[in-house]
Structure 1
Amino acid sequence: MNSIGERIEEVRSKSSLSQEAFAGTLGISRNSYFKYIRGHRAIPSDVFSAILEKYGTDPAWLHEGDEGLTNRTTSLLDEMKQILHAVDNRAEERGLAIDFDKRWLIACRICVERVMAAKQSEDIPEVAVAEIDNWLEVAQ
C-alpha cells in the first residue's frame, strides 16, 4: 500500500500543477510540501482539509488508501442490506405485496437520507418503523 505522501503527490499530479504551485494552493511552502510527502513531518489537519476541499479528494482514500475505500464500501453495502431486510420484513408484517424494485428504491431512499443526515451531524439516525411505513404507503 502506498503512503499518504504518495497519494497527495498523485492528487498533485492529476491537478497538472507543479509542486510549488500545488503547495501554494494549500497555503504551504514547497519545502513543507516535500516534508509532508516524504513522511518527514505529519500533515496538519488544515492542509489535509484543503486537499479534500480544493481537489475533491475522497477522504477515506487520502487517509487510508484503497483499504479505506474498501472498508467504507463494505460498510455501506452492509447498511443497504440491513435496510432492505427491514423494509422487506415490515412489508411482510403488514401483508403488503410490493415488488422488489419498489422495496429496493425505498431502501435506497432511506440510505440516502441517512447519509445526508450523517453529513449534517455526527449522529446517524436509526431506521424507524414509521419511516419505512411512510415509504411503503407511497409505494402502494
Structure 2
Amino acid sequence: MSREPSELFAEMGPRLAITRNDIGLSQAAMAEALGVSPRAYHSYEKGKRGIPVEALVAMIERFDIDVRWLLIGAKSVRANHDFEALKNIENSLDQHLIAEGIKIKGEKRGAIIARWYQSHIEGREVADDDVHTWIELVRD
C-alpha cells in the first residue's frame, strides 16, 4: 500500500530531529553540513518537505546515518545503536503524551527522544520527572 508523500514527510521529520539531536547540531549547523538553507532544513524537520537525495548522501558520508531508518523507521539512527531501546523510548513517550492529552510538534518530540536515548546510552536512569520537565520545556 503506497503512502502519500505528505504522510512520509510527516513521519520522517521527527526522525530527522532525533538524528540531528543525536549528532549534537543545531538546525542551522545541520543545514550547513548538508548544503541546504536553514529554512529548507527546518521544513524537512517539520515534515513539510522531503529531504533531497544529495542531503541524504551527505548525512551518510558525514555522520554514518542509517538512511533506511531515517526514511521509513527501520533499523536504527546509526548502525551501532540500540534500536529496541530507541523504540521503547518512543513508545513510552507517545503513550504518556496520549494519556495526558499533550500535543507537541514532531521536531520537539524528536528532541525529547534524543535526550532520553542519550541518557540511556550513557547509562543514566531517566525518571518520570525528567520526562515531564522535558515535555514542559517544549510545549507550545
Tell me which interval the TM-score lies in, with the shorter structure as reference length.
0.3 to 0.5
TM-score between the two structures when normalised by the length of structure 2: 0.44
Q: Which has the higher helix share?
A: 1
Greater Cα radius of gyration, structure 1 or 2: 1
| Higher RCO (CA-CA < 8 Å; seq separation 6+) | 2
